[in-house]
Chain A
Amino acid sequence: MHRKLLAAGVIAAALVLASCSSSTDEAATDSTAAASEAAPAESTEAAPAEEAPAEEAPADAAPALTTDDSNCAAPENFCIGLVTDTGKVDDKSFNQSAWEGAQEAANVTGGFAKFIETTDPKDYLNNIAQFTSKAYDVIVTVGFLMGEASIEAAKANPTTNFVGVDQFQGEAIPNLTGLVFPEDKAGYAAGYLAGLMTKTNKLGAVLGTDTVPPVKLFGEGYKAGVLAANPEADVTIVYHEPNNAFNDPEWGAAEAKKQLSQGADIIFGAGGNTGNGALIEIAKAPGAGETIFCIGVDTDQFFTVPQAQKCLLTSAEKKLKQGTADLILAAKDGAFPGGNFLGNTGLAPYHNTEAVVPDDVKSQVDAVIAGLADGSIETGVTLG
């Protein structure tokens, strides 16, 4: 009896293990979702990992067409490697945007692009080394969490250019460029839209901690944008306390509820899972998508937080794809900047609210985004 029941236990446990282990992996990963990086949504496993953009490029697009990485060291060949943060290249978030940027750059230059998906954060350096051992020209490392690995790899491989997506560089290394974003501009554009769209003249924001600069820039930019569009409006911004700032969805939901009950009709949620908690809560409110809206952050959260689709007006977006492609092209042209490179920001598509947002509001917001990009509009936000 004993041993058979033990055996039964073994089987039962073996069956539940798969789900156990994947869910704990996820929990452990999420807990470090930090700074301005939204926690990646569940990745779709089934999508095939295509990686032959170079072959799709028209042969006349570039003089030298690199079709594989057998001889990246040759000057006429251009090889682009990308290492994901723990996640897949089709995560609809940072990894995917950066990979699309790398593919675009490969198409433009006639180069070759390949990726490695990190499964264990301890492997960051080793995965980068796969590319350096084959003399890749540019290596893109995605995400804040890879910052230290990128610095170490860049110092060890001075002839390889590294693009660190969302990695602010405290100390400039010539062959490592941190792709960072003026969050205040993205927040400003979102705030401007919110200021034009509000009916109650009350707006809210539920954010991660103001001790992390990108979050504060989002928040202050949002406030400035609202007031620029609608000086009458009343903006309430709450920041989480510094500890556990990005992984407290319950707090985010509670604060969103509070702001809704105080009459806010558009709420900006930014700060990993904390902000996502706010978005999901707002999507449950009566009138969500009609009179009550939420605004996401970083990437198009219509895809990363599908539970918030009902209320999602737009997302204050970092244009990762474009920034990644621009930096790779700069490396190709021998004009790799090093230090930090400011990417563009903007707003994600309206999706479900396309019909709700009036055309004149859309054009005003577009004008503001263009103004922010060319510098004719300043957010007036400074930290400190």
Chain B
Amino acid sequence: MTTTDPARTDLGFTDPDPRRSGPLDRIPGILLPIVSVLLAFAIGGILIWLQGVNPFYAYWVLFSNALGSSEGLIRVMEKSTPLILTGLAVTVGLRAGLFNIGAQGQLLVGAVGAAWAGYAFTVPAIIHLPVAIIFGMLCGAAWASIAGVLRAYRSVSEVITTIMLNSIAIALVDYLASRPLKEPDQPLSRTPAIAESAALPSFGIIPSGFVLAVIVALFFGWFLVRTTSGFRFNTVGLNPNAARYAGISVKGTIVLAMAVSGALAGMGGAIETLGVTGRFEPAFNAGLGFDGITIALLARANPIAAIPAALLVGTLRAGAATLQFETGIEPEVVDVILAITLLLVAAPIVARLLFRRRAMKQTTVTSRWGS
């Protein structure tokens, strides 16, 4: 088994059994996402061309605006920060064999939690800031743990529960922002502005939230490969039966992995609140958790690769408005490019499912997923 080399665990892209290898398996790990992105840009370019705009010019506009000025760079970093963290959230789940589709809900809960912690206390920044971030993380962790506990102790698929918890989270934060935590004397559903002491500062042009997100990504790059806990995550993800046989508490690992995943998404929400929006407003956090899934798959569940993947998505999102301003192309073309990327990254898995029927018959290992 590949448990001896957990760093290579990546969602089944790397096949542990050489007898089952086919032509698709020889694709080096890094090639698939790069080719997928390039193909997606090519297809997006055709769509742009059909709208009567030179695709090379359009892409030049998109990237030069986002990366060509300090304002653009700040926005790219701001946009990428929550995406790195939601990408990591999905990644950590995937490593432990969990598909956390609930990053959006966990992010929302974390964002509203941090907003509350951000305005409810009057303490010095040195205490206030970490408390607000950690509180947001705890909110996200608690929210994800519901799905984690149900998965571990009741075998309820976390795919289903996290999707359902997303909807509940949206209703919950709407309720919180419109009733108990609402800023009084104004009609909008939003919390009061956070205190100055809870606001994330910038290092020159670099937002500290971005630095934090990068550090967390690097930490998980180390954690998943070099620590015992990381090893447990990977082992449970690869084969829960083998993990149980090896004496690893599968249930405990699942709950912990889900909580860590939720904490990461919650941190993304907390940094949004404390570093960008300055308060919680429900509409301000839409879609960040779902982009996390694209990023995790694009990064092939590698925490460090989540940084460039998030930067790519962040750049596209930051440049979309300029694209429309300069060329008249609707900003949704960016969503199309990302969706095509996701499809292409996922396509080899479909191909495997189709071409490996015979090989699968030789497999005797079954798992809870199959039962």
Contacts and interface: CB of A to CB of B under 8 A. Distances in A.
Contact of B179 (A5, A18, A117, A244): A244
B343 A14 contact: yes
A1 B362 CA distance: 10
Interface in A174-201: none
Contact of A7 (B75, B187, B353, B370): B353
Between A17, A29, A120, the greatest number of chain B beta carbons within 10 A of the residue's beta carbon is seen for A120
Nearest to A131: B325
Contact of B293 (A13, A28, A116, A131): A13
Contacts of A88: 330
A7 B356 CA distance: 13
Given A2-B367, A2-B369, A24-B286, A121 B281 contact: yes
Contacts of A51: 328
B297 A130 contact: no
Contacts of B51: 48
A117 B323 CA distance: 11
Nearest to A27: B170
Given A7-B349, A247-B174, A32 B370 contact: no
Interface string A44-80: 0100110100000000000000000000000000000
Given A25-B286, A32-B189, A116-B321, A10 B346 contact: yes
A33 B179 CA distance: 15
Contacts of B101: 13, 17, 20
B322 A130 contact: yes
A57 to B, nearest CB: 18
Interface string B322-340: 1011001011100000010
Contact of B317 (A27, A28, A120): A120
Contact of A121 (B182, B283, B324): B283
B237 to A, nearest CB: 9
SS of A interface (majority): helix
A127 interface: yes
A196 B148 CA distance: 62
Contacts of B11: 3, 6-7, 10
A4 B287 contact: no
Contact of B297 (A10, A31, A118, A209): A10
B331 A10 contact: no
Interface in B338-370: 339, 342-343, 346, 349-350, 352-353, 356, 360, 363, 365-367, 369-370
Given A27-B170, A34-B187, A119-B332, A6 B369 contact: yes
Contacts of A243: 178-179, 182
B12 A6 contact: yes
A4 B354 CA distance: 10
A122 B322 contact: no
A123 B167 CA distance: 25
Interface in A8-23: 8-11, 13-14, 16-18, 20-21
Contacts of A119: 317, 320-321, 331-332
B189 A3 contact: no
Interface in B177-210: 177-179, 182, 187-190
B287 A21 contact: yes
B286 A117 contact: no
A235 B349 CA distance: 64
A117 B369 contact: no
B369 A126 contact: no
B42 interface: no
Given A21-B290, A116-B325, A126-B321, A9 B99 contact: yes
Contacts of A245: 187
Contacts of A6: 11-12, 97, 99, 369
Contacts of B161: none
A109 to B, nearest CB: 21
A330 to B, nearest CB: 25
B277 interface: yes
Interface in B276-294: 276-277, 281-287, 290, 293
B330 A28 contact: no
B104 interface: yes
Contacts of A92: none
A4 B328 CA distance: 43
A106 interface: no
Contacts of B346: 10-11, 14
A5 B276 contact: no
A32 B283 contact: yes
Nearest to A8: B353
B369 A1 contact: yes
Interface string A116-149: 1111111100110111000000000000010000
B369 A5 contact: yes
B352 A13 contact: no
B187 A212 contact: yes
Contacts of B71: 126, 129
B65 to A, nearest CB: 9
Given A7-B11, A120-B286, A123-B321, 20 more contacts: A2-B369, A5-B369, A8-B353, A9-B99, A13-B101, A14-B293, A24-B286, A24-B287, A31-B177, A31-B189, A31-B282, A32-B281, A32-B283, A114-B325, A130-B321, A130-B322, A243-B182, A244-B179, A247-B178, A247-B189
16 contacts: A2-B366, A2-B370, A3-B238, A7-B12, A9-B369, A10-B346, A11-B349, A13-B101, A14-B343, A24-B170, A29-B283, A31-B177, A32-B282, A116-B325, A121-B283, A130-B322
Q: Which 8 A-B residue pairings sit nearest by Cβ, starting from the closest?
A: A3-B12, A2-B367, A7-B349, A21-B290, A25-B286, A5-B369, A130-B325, A31-B174
